[in-house]
Amino acid sequence: MRVACTSLPNGIEIRTADAREQITALRDDLLRVRIVRSGPLSEDASWAVLPNARTSSVSVTADITAASAGFHTSVLHVVVGRRTLRMTVFDRAGNVLDEDARRSQFDGAAFHVYKTMPVDEHYFGLGDKTGPLDRRNQAFSLWNTGAYRFQESTDPIYKSIPFFMTFRA
> How large is the average pLDDT for residues 125-143?
78
Same domain, 105 and 124: no
Closest residue by Cα to residue 102 from 86, 90, 88, 118:
86
Same domain, 108 and 123: no
Convert the pLDDT of each residue in 115-124 to its tens digit.
898 999 998 8
Q: CB-based contacts of 37: which residues, under 8 Å, 6+ apart? A: 18, 19, 20, 106
State the residue range of the domain holding 32. Answer: 1-116
**Chosen domain end from 99, 116, 133:** 116
pTM of the predicted protein model = 0.81
pLDDT at 149: 77
> How large is the average pLDDT for residues 22-37?
92
